Amino acid sequence: MLEGEALARITVRGEARRWSVNRIITIGREFGSGGRELGKRLAEKLGIAYYDKEILVAIAKKTDFAVDYVQQILSRRPELYFPITVGQSFYPIVDPILEQNNTIYSEQSRIITDMAKKSDCIIVGRCADYILKDMHPLRLFVYAEMDFKMDRCRLRAKEHEDLTDRKLTQQIKRIDKNRASYYQFYTGRKWGDKLNYDLCINTSYIPIKEAVDGIAKIFS
């Protein structure tokens, strides 16, 4: 369970904190670490709203982009190119892909902020810890060792899906690399850096249910 100095320190912060709007919890997570499950279980235990894929649907409605396209954009770092040169001067042209990226991020920020103002909630991913920094959310980061993440991915894989150790490791690393790049691009911060979070949880050694019980005590 989450006991000892780590939980005590967070509990003190939780008791001393003055929620500016509502109780807000943000969850960053490595792929396969169980961060989404932790968020759902914690939302159920606390009886508060849970937002994850709902944000994608809301963005799609606001921007007229397909949900799958929004998901693709939000999982990688936008690339900026400078293809036009005149003499020795460089003139960047408008990059329509980057404009779409920024449009989606701006809409995402508005939607997440509105959700946080509406009620107590848990928001998974989407740079929510940074977007809502002025609301002082409880910022969690969930991670795990590779073997644990591989086992968890296999349990949730589609039937007959070819998941060799090599392919699965590459997939996990690629997704986490894209998440890190996207996060750094829009926040200027290092994804997964403990200095950006209030509590980091290694689900390789802390069962998700016990982690949920420990975190819930902060709000009891």
At 113-170, the pLDDT tens digits run: 999 999 999 999 999 999 999 999 999 999 999 999 999 999 887 776 777 899 999 9
d(CA 91, CA 8): 54
Q: Residue 75's pLDDT is what? A: 65
- Residue 86 scores a pLDDT above 50: no
The interaxial angle of helices 208-216 and 35-46, nearest 10 deg, is 40
Contact 56, 70 (CB under 8 A): yes
Determine whether 153 is exposed, middle or buried from the number of CB atoms within 10 Å of its CB (0-12, 13-18, 19+).
middle
- Residue 94 scores a pLDDT above 80: no
Closest CA to 202 of 127, 144, 123, 122: 144
d(CA 184, CA 190): 6
4-219 to CATH, choices 2.60.15.10, 3.20.20.80, 3.40.630.10, 3.40.50.300: 3.40.50.300
Task: Give 58's pLDDT tier (boundaries 50, 70, 90).
Answer: confident
Encoded tokens for 47: 């009886």
Encoded tokens for 194: 């403990």
d(CA 84, CA 70): 28
